[in-house]
């Protein structure tokens, strides 16, 4: 695809490293395991992998508590293994994106150990210490402030108390973190996904958050407080622009931001003059009710609000949200795949979605996720979507020769790569076909998105370039529909047998069926 950066045309594949492939039998995935599966990833057609944190960590939040930003945790391997992974990936034309966790470190990071040792320590101001707490909450529930006996002050943590927040108002913190970015950029990593980008800077006056007027006794409207002073502060954009400058000092790298905000606020993370994140992750499809009308609305809204020159992106799943097949139901997973893979811009797939994995059942005694342990039983747990990748029909699904760290999905003997490779109509082959279609038809990646409409259960949109028009029809209902189209040729369908079918002015779609039609110009 001409004139596009690699990160604009690539499909990004998220690898949750603990769960992808174990190579040493300890039941936890590792870097060597990822290397073993690179050919599989090339075979699906993805262009980049984003690997969730592999840094040295006590694993209180499975790597999102970093104890050394410039080393690999022994669970995953070592720096030489990482270098090999990079060489092997690049040899196959696959880009490698790392996670970067700037908002907080581990409480075992030497910086925090020093900071905690005395009020006079040179690193005291690297974290957020206060004599008094305020009403800021932790995103994992409860107060975000932890009392420290030794120095008789509180420190703030947006997540676990084992994840103290760094003080991004301190220039020394910024410099140290940018050095960490350079460490990996010098090695040749192709970019970063920045964890909780919108939380990095907090109010310098530590003002209390206001109460949420929409919060009802049934707790249906989110939190009791509005996170006005500890999230999405105006100064965050200065930090993001600085990160971007570091990234841009190396050619061909990408900066992606994890941002859960309303779409209007999300757009500000592209930065003034587009000097912010190249891709502020767009999670609208993760949060949207699953019906044609709501989806048409979020697509139109997102595309309309994109700043001029900003590049769109879409995410269907990640390691913090229920799997798509579980969210929308088995019959709709192919529609979900076709929706994602026919939208313009950069797409991110979560490992296992391409084979239609569902949330695994995790017994209370097997729970690993600290979010679930801290607030049991209210649906915070993320273990179900982190179950091991299922590669074959064996007892441990080809993931490990040991005991998997999380239970396998109950459906693992039917939902796995080995079985789906042999079935033309499998989810895996649908993903392969659709990614190949994107590669063959630039209109799908960079075409102009037009006339996004819904009629009942039917969602319809068109992607156009000067040379071609592609029409996408997706049936979100279970009953057949007749669709008014234009005469053309089916390029792809959830049912592979419809490929090359000539259609006239009307097309029949079965329940949960989708097609892409090419209209001759
Ligand atoms: C967002 C990550 O995706 C999530 O897994 C993690 O628990 C929090 N940030 C804290 O780092």
* pLDDT one-digit tens code per residue, 419-456: 999 999 999 999 999 999 999 999 999 999 999 999 99
* Cα dihedral 200, 206, 210, 215 sign: positive
Q: What is the mean pLDDT of the chain?
A: 96
Is residue 192 within 8 Å of 99, Cβ to Cβ? Answer: yes
d(CA 161, CA 105): 10
Q: How far is the CA of 345 from the centre of ligand 1 (A)?
A: 24
pLDDT at 485: 86
CA-wise closest residue to 515 among 494, 487, 486, 484? 494
Helix (H) or strand (E) run with residue 172 in it? helix 171-187
Give the closest residue (by CA) to ligand 1 atom 8.
64
**How do beta strands 48-51 and 95-100 pair?**
parallel
Query: In the chain, what percentage of residues exceed pLDDT 90?
Result: 93
The full set of domains in the chain, from first to last, is 6-106+170-433 (3.20.20.80), 110-156 (3.90.400.10), 448-519 (2.60.40.1180)
Q: State which of 195, 319, 381, 382 you would mutate to test the pocket of ligand 1, scoring each by most atoms of that ligand within 8 A of its C-beta.
A: 195
The distance between the two most distant Cα atoms of the chain, rounded to a whole number of Å, is 78
Is residue 483 within 8 Å of 465, Cβ to Cβ? Answer: no
CA-wise closest residue to 122 among 57, 60, 172? 172
For the chain, how many helices (H) and strands (E)? 16, 21
> How far does Cα 331 stand from its chain's mean position?
23
Query: What are the tokens at 200?
Result: 């990095």
Tens digit of each residue's pLDDT (9 = 90 or more) over 206-249: 999 999 988 876 655 568 899 999 999 999 999 999 999 999 99
Beta bridge partners of 474: 459, 514
- Give the angle 18-414-378 at the CA atoms, nearest 5°: 55
235 is catalytic: no
Helix locations, 258-399, DSSP H: 263-267, 284-287, 292-305, 324-328, 333-341, 370-374
Query: What are the tokens at 464?
Result: 């156009």
pLDDT at 224: 87
258 is catalytic: yes
Query: What are the tokens at 27?
Result: 């039941």
- Residue 1: pLDDT over 80: no
Q: Is 65 in the pocket of ligand 1 (CB under 6 A)?
A: no
CA-wise closest residue to 82 among 70, 65, 67? 70
Is residue 356 within 8 Å of 328, Cβ to Cβ? Answer: no
Q: How far is the CA of 434 from the centre of ligand 1 (A)?
A: 30
Q: How far apart are the first and last CA of the chain?
A: 20
Q: How far is the CA of 320 from the centre of ligand 1 (A)?
A: 7
Tens digit of each residue's pLDDT (9 = 90 or more) over 292-301: 999 999 999 9
Helix (H) or strand (E) run with residue 464 in it? strand 458-464
- Give the angle 302-303-304 at the CA atoms, nearest 5°: 95
- Residue 472: pLDDT over 90: yes
Q: How far is the CA of 19 from the centre of ligand 1 (A)?
A: 16
Q: Is 64 in the pocket of ligand 1 (CB under 6 A)?
A: yes
What are the φ/ψ torsions at residue 148 (nearest 5 degrees)?
A: -110, 115
Give the closest residue (by CA) to ligand 1 atom 3.
320
CA-wise closest residue to 24 among 36, 42, 39, 16? 36
Q: Which atom of ligand 1 is nearest to the CA of 103?
A: 11
Q: Is 380 in the pocket of ligand 1 (CB under 6 A)?
A: no
Tens digit of each residue's pLDDT (9 = 90 or more) over 344-401: 999 999 999 999 999 999 999 999 998 888 888 877 899 999 999 999 999 999 999 9
Question: DSSP labels for 474-486?
Answer: EE-SSS-EEEE--
Q: Is 107 in the pocket of ligand 1 (CB under 6 A)?
A: no
Is residue 481 within 8 Å of 475, Cβ to Cβ? Answer: yes
Assign 418 a pLDDT band (cuts: 50, 70, 90).
Answer: very high
Is residue 340 within 8 Å of 286, Cβ to Cβ? Answer: no
Is residue 181 within 8 Å of 264, Cβ to Cβ? Answer: no
d(CA 16, CA 11): 16
Tens digit of each residue's pLDDT (9 = 90 or more) over 118-169: 999 999 999 999 999 999 999 998 999 999 999 999 999 999 999 999 999 9
């Amino acid at each position: 695809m001409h004139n596009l950066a690699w990160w604009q045309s690539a499909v990004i594949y998220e690898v949750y490293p603990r769960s992808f492939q174990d190579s040493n039998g300890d039941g936890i995935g590792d870097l060597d395991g990822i290397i073993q599966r690179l050919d599989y990833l090339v075979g699906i057609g993805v262009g980049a992998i984003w690997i969730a944190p592999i840094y040295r960590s006590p694993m209180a939040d499975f790597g999102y508590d970093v104890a050394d930003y410039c080393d690999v945790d022994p669970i995953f391997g070592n720096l030489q293994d990482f270098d090999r992974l990079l060489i092997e990936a690049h040899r196959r034309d696959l880009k490698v994106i790392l996670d970067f966790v700037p908002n907080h470190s581990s409480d075992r990071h030497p910086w925090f150990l020093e900071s905690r040792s005395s009020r006079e320590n040179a690193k005291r101001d690297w974290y957020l210490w206060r004599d008094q707490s305020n009403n800021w909450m932790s995103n994992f529930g409860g107060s975000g402030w932890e009392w420290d006996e030794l120095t008789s002050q509180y420190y703030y943590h947006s997540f676990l108390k084992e994840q103290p927040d760094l003080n991004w108002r301190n220039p020394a913190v910024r410099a140290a973190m940018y050095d960490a970015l350079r460490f990996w950029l010098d090695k040749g990593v192709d970019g970063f996904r920045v964890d909780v980008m919108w939380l990095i800077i907090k109010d310098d006056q530590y003002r209390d958050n206001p109460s949420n007027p929409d919060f009802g006794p049934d707790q249906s409207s989110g939190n009791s407080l509005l996170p006005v002073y500890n999230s999405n502060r105006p100064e965050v954009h200065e930090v993001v622009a600085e990160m971007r400058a570091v990234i841009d000092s190396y050619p061909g790298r990408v900066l992606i931001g994890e941002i859960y905000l309303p779409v209007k606020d999300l757009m500000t993370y592209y930065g003034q003059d587009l000097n912010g994140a190249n891709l502020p992750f767009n999670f609208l499809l993760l949060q949207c009710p699953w019906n044609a009308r709501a989806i048409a609305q979020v697509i139109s809204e997102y595309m309309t609000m994109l700043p001029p020159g900003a590049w769109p992106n879409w995410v269907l799943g990640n390691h913090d949200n229920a799997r798509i097949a579980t969210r929308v139901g088995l019959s709709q997973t192919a529609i979900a795949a076709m929706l994602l893979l026919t939208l313009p811009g950069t797409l991110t797939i979560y490992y296992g979605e391409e084979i239609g994995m569902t949330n695994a059942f995790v017994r209370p005694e097997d729970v690993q996720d600290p979010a679930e342990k801290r607030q049991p039983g209210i649906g915070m747990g993320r273990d179900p979507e982190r179950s091991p990748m299922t590669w074959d029909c064996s007892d441990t699904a080809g993931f490990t020769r040991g005991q998997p760290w999380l239970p396998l999905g109950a459906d693992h003997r039917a939902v796995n790569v080995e079985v789906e490779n042999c079935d033309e109509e499998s989810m895996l082959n649908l993903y392969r076909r659709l990614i190949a279609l994107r590669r063959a038809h630039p209109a799908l990646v960079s075409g102009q998105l037009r006339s996004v409409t819904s009629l009942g259960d039917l969602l319809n949109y068109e992607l156009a370039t000067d040379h071609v028009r592609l029409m996408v029809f997706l049936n979100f209902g279970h009953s057949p529909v007749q669709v008014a189209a234009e005469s053309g040729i089916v390029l792809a369908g959830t049912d592979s047998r419809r490929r090359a079918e000539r259609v006239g002015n009307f097309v029949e779609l079965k329940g949960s069926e989708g097609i892409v039609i090419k209209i001759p110009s």
